[in-house]
Amino acid sequence: MHHTKQQSFEVASARITDAAMKVHHALREALDAAAPALDGARACGRALGLRRHLGWQVYTMAHASDHVTVIAALPKARGWQLVMQALQNCGCADRSLRALRQAVDAMHAELTARAADRSALRAVAAGALDTPAQRSAMLRARANATRANELLHGVGVKTYLSAFLIGPVRAGGKVGMATATSIHGVQRSRPGAPWPIYYTLESYDEKRAAIGVSTAKHRGKGIPPLQRDLCSPNMDMDCLRMHRDGETRMVELLDRGSANTTPLDLAFVEHIETASVVRDAAIRWRLLFLMTTPTERTVTEVWFHRSVKLVNDPAAMLMSSPNLNRRVLAERSQERLPLEVGAVQVAKPTLPLAMRQHAGVHAELLQRGAQRLGAPLDEFVGFQLSMPNPPWMSMVELSFDC
């Protein structure tokens, strides 16, 4: 019986995902024809003569990279009528409008057919269809889990800021990648074994599988990615060590004795000269960040150099999996958890109000990451995901095509 239910869920998930992405593709084709080269959701609304929220919905669905983003932005019936009329007024071809109507009708049919099984529908939508009460309950559960894991494991982090920088595109389509990470308020409530506080940067390109896993080139002893001048000023370097975990390196937090309960701030920058090669056909990128430590709030960003041509905006996901191999993760082995927020575009380094005290360090780390890649930071544009209480040992994923 369990096997039958699992098959039913997988079939429902596949059908809804397919229907949502058909809406995305049909809307993107119609929008590109009616109003090409749009610069953001506001420009989309102005070009089509739509109200601000409806313009945001249209732009979001057209530039989505996953089905959950499409489902979260779906307008109601009246909204679709206004969108169709606006596209027609802008000269969209009848063929494109018919394809879009068919895709929207098919999406509505899939959602209606499964309306009776709300739990399965919620699981497929990964939080996009949750009510405010359901979202509040999930946030409370995550907060309780963070406190419980901090108590159980005797270690916790107040704020974890992690940013990926991608580009510029060099000769032959080679693209580098850097990371800029700051960890604030690291504390241990009791003595304990070494704790993995930071995993070093690595990349894997399926199209270049013969190369294997690429890692940052660290020369010398000590902890090369560590930016000592941006860490806690009185930090004892003996509280950290670099340790190899298979092909990966990690930085471990050691027992600090009487200083365990004193909050510690850490900062890291590293880069890979060639993380991938951009080709004529767009490829899917998946940036994965493993939550190794109970954390009260995380901000995860991706910054693109202007030479990197995005096909769609990054989709934010929260993943749980029994397979914690960060290099090669089969999607079928992952469980997508409800996520109440998405990635938003930012033109310059900024942080949510509650974390502004770390803005200076964050901006400096981004500058250093961009410098490693050979380009000024003002040539990059970012997308930011801010999330409270990510589940311990979950993965934050940002995926996109370029």
Domains of the chain: 2-125 (no CATH), 135-401 (2.60.40)
The predicted pLDDT at position 153 comes to: 94
- Summarised one tens digit per residue, pLDDT across range 314-326 is 888 898 865 554 4
Please answer whether residues 73 and 60 qualify as being in contact, where contact means their C-beta atoms are separated by less than 8 angstroms: yes
In this predicted model, which residue has the larger pLDDT, 383 or 14? 383
| Amino acid, res. 242 | M
Residue 114 pLDDT level (bands cut at 50, 70, 90): confident
Residue 149 pLDDT level (bands cut at 50, 70, 90): very high
- Summarised one tens digit per residue, pLDDT across range 255-294 is 888 888 889 999 999 999 988 888 776 788 889 888 999 9
Taking residues 142-146, report their average pLDDT.
Answer: 96
The predicted pLDDT at position 285 comes to: 87
pLDDT > 90? residue 156? yes
Residue 178 pLDDT level (bands cut at 50, 70, 90): very high
User: Over pLDDT 70: what percentage of the chain?
Assistant: 91
- Summarised one tens digit per residue, pLDDT across range 285-309 is 889 888 999 999 999 999 999 999 8
pLDDT > 90? residue 99? yes
In this predicted model, which residue has the larger pLDDT, 53 or 222? 53
What's the mean per-residue pLDDT of the chain?
Answer: 86
Taking residues 127-132, report their average pLDDT.
Answer: 78
The candidate with the shortest Cα–Cα distance to 70, out of 382, 315, 322, 300, is 315
3-state SS string for 125-169? HCCCCCCHHHHHHHHHHHHHHHHHHHHHHCEEEEEEEEEEEEEEE
pLDDT > 70? residue 134? yes
Residue 36 CB contacts under 8 Å (≥ 6 apart), including other chains = none
pLDDT > 50? residue 327? no
The predicted pLDDT at position 211 comes to: 61
In this predicted model, which residue has the larger pLDDT, 212 or 242? 242
Give the separation between CA 62 and CA 23, rounded to whole angstroms: 8
Output the pTM of the full model: 0.83
The predicted pLDDT at position 209 comes to: 60
Taking residues 252-256, report their average pLDDT.
Answer: 90
Residue 328 pLDDT level (bands cut at 50, 70, 90): very low
Taking residues 83-95, report their average pLDDT.
Answer: 91
Residue 251 CB contacts under 8 Å (≥ 6 apart), including other chains = 196, 197, 198, 199, 200, 223, 225, 226, 240, 241, 242, 243, 266, 268
Residue 401 pLDDT level (bands cut at 50, 70, 90): confident
pLDDT > 50? residue 88? yes
In this predicted model, which residue has the larger pLDDT, 122 or 223? 223
User: Over pLDDT 90: what percentage of the chain?
Assistant: 45
